[in-house]
Amino acid sequence: MCSVALVGCAAQTADVNWNHAGRAFTTGELVAPMVFNRKDASRCAGLWMLHGDAVDDGAFSLEAHRAFPEELRLPFAMNAVEFFGEDGINEVAYRQAADLAELQLRSALAGDSEAFRRYFEALGRCSTQPETVGDVAADAIDAPADE
């Protein structure tokens, strides 16, 4: 089993198709609320901190790093931790989320496809990508305002 910090897990991983990580992340991102209360933001910070530590500590193979979209790589993970933690952290929610993510990641690295999906979808639900804002041309009117 990998150490608590997941160091050395990359050498012990089962045959994992890392291309599915990006797909699961995107699936989670599609249902991301984009507005988070402090407890939810703390959970997201815990998930991203665990993920960032795992990336930094070598839990993922070089193959995984190549397959990860930018959002799952180290600089983005650490930026997400800062983003979700800037208004303060609910320590209990943070720790619970990080602990659950660690269990899921251990299972995923051992070849559990359901844990793999849940882990990366949870990161997607904690996406820091801004919502797309735009005007719909049909709603815009080029006319003087009615008084």
Distance, CA of 17 to CA of 64 (rounded, Å): 8
Report how far apart, in Å, the C-alpha atoms of 20 and of each of 1, 81, 85 are.
Answer: 23, 23, 28
Distance, CA of 128 to CA of 71 (rounded, Å): 9
Report how far apart, in Å, the C-alpha atoms of 111 and of each of 7, 48, 49, 101 are.
Answer: 17, 21, 22, 15
Q: Which tens digit of pLDDT belongs to each residue from 93-112?
A: 999 999 999 999 999 999 99
Distance, CA of 73 to CA of 70 (rounded, Å): 5
Question: In the prediction, which pLDDT does 122 show?
Answer: 97
Share of the chain above pLDDT 90, in %: 69
Distance, CA of 136 to CA of 139 (rounded, Å): 6
93 near 42, Cβ under 8 Å?
A: yes
User: When comparing pLDDT for 144 and 8, which is higher?
Assistant: 144
What's the predicted TM-score (pTM) here?
0.80
Q: Which tens digit of pLDDT belongs to each residue from 22-62?
A: 999 999 999 999 889 999 999 999 999 999 999 999 999 89
Distance, CA of 53 to CA of 2 (rounded, Å): 14
